[in-house]
Structure 1
């Protein structure tokens, strides 16, 4: 496939989701599962890292950092244990790709963990799963137990002389633990708060040892790269954003769900695959990578959903959590709800985030009630400016994204709240707007 040709769907990670009991070892092995492990164990660890580099795989957790490069940062001359940590603490509002992946095909993650650990020369790996998703924890634990029983984990794996133990760790439900160093704090039994860097986890991570931290989807992509080759993976996607990914569509579409497709596909194509927007309504605004990314509008329907395309449009690809909202949705209320989440989930370590998110909520809540003046919009932007780039981790930055972008695209709607003395999308607040909504079929 050429890099300019976009296939509608590429079921690789999602291939077993519609198979009866596809989460079990027998179903996974029937589709060729753990063949890549045999191939990897016959390779040199550095050759696996080189293959992942050549494939162009970039982190699927949001930042998009090249996975193979991250692995190569692990210093092999330090006489300390090396660790692999899988970040399965999926908790961004709207993000829902890792949870169904672990439910529908946990063994692709387990196989990816074994190959990745072998590549970085780690003999211990941890899968850190969000504590609230107990059903996922049980399923991954069952998959790990099956892998041990089949000889895919433990000592002398497949007669190679390589040993690996995998621990499935349940988090305590803190959104901040999605930040990799806060996750390490949680793994070590402390309160989840981000660490000062440097030193970086590659040098001093878990238990002050060299550590690689990757997203679930990043690690789950490794077996297919090893089995089919770097060129196969790189043939999909775009020039700088290679491969495939799971796009999560939620909100006002007819058939919300997960769509595994090459990077570079557009939202217009994904909406068509989801059956279109709900009857009688049109797209108003959407998030390309979860609620911590700047919102986009219907003008951006044909933006390539890759790291560069979305970046040029003024947002971030993030976790490909595509939340779609039609014209019946109040932008101010949606942004307020997201901001309340970030205020609640702030760990409190740094002043800009701890105090700033509180003030953002106060200002937004007043505007949503129709109180204040147009000057409060500038106050909001000033508050965002005092948080962006000044908080200890990216949580504070993410909290400002929907606010500043919504004012950029929907300033008139903020002003309408002041004009109508409340939310104009509430029929009780304005008969004129109630008539407009009735006409739109709300």
Structure 2
């Protein structure tokens, strides 16, 4: 990573931010503005103005070299902050997805709440230093709520539930008891976090292979989540489990829960088997969506399900052929944003790395690539009127980027510069509050 020279936005104490260029995504494209001054209301944390002043504004930028870019903060539509690891857990060619999940469970075993909060902090360091200001997180312990508040990152956190059925015959609770426990846990979290200015509470039925349709309905009906966050069609093992009733995921159930379970329907895809559940809430967000056919996409579109695209994680778990049918989803009218998943299946929680891979996989233009990280992510979260754009009335979630050698006077493509690996986030604001400032640290460098 290159080192940044001294930089101080003109008048930052007056909530004014100046950059050589601003990249302003909208649902229909990206407007590139030169010499931008962005003004933030310190009382509401909303953007008051983002005006193009041309090169005359460059005189306000105390920068000895390089070029600065201003964008909205990046929005990560699928994370597991509590699952941090310095290197992903390998999935070997001879392993099933169930084998990999068992390795994940073994890795988590014995983790305390303190451990989980610490893991969240490590995850957030990677996210914030690469420009993410908002996450859509699935939490096992509720630790990410605590960590997000401590750091000041925006997020929707969905407590995760895995309920496959009655466990009373193996010394466990009934499905009804498990569901009631999950609902009570959710209501307890709601009581503590409902009015938080940066955080929302969702709910996460883990996946079709880990939640019965009846319990899914009860869980959503008896809570009031901002959204429903689940995993769908992530691996071929999941599809085969539903299509044929194959044993690999059932064997995992037996190892973890003490008994085997079967899909609610055999011979259909998970999308078809859970068709009623996709309309259980006004905003269902499904992560991955790799193994989908035309009929699946039609059902998801009918219920306006949003998709979190995690290119690196998909390929880590299922190989280079595991590619979401992005263009088909888009043509069907589905909302699609980018996510990283966790560091257990993603080498680094950097949304621009995901964007570069998505660009390669799907032949995307630069504008669409930025949209996926910002305005499209806001749409996935149901916050399109609040986040993801540099415009009046939107939340001041902002990133100032810096490239060490680009000359702003001769720069021909600021969008390409934003995606350049040598461009780094030097300042990050969430809700108008500066949460990352590399400038003072790097002054002596």
> What is the TM-score with the length of structure 1 in the denominator?
0.24
More strand by share: 2
> Greater RCO between the two (CA within 8 Å, min separation 6)?
2
TM-score scaled by length of structure 2: 0.24
User: Which is helix-richer, 1 or 2?
Assistant: 1
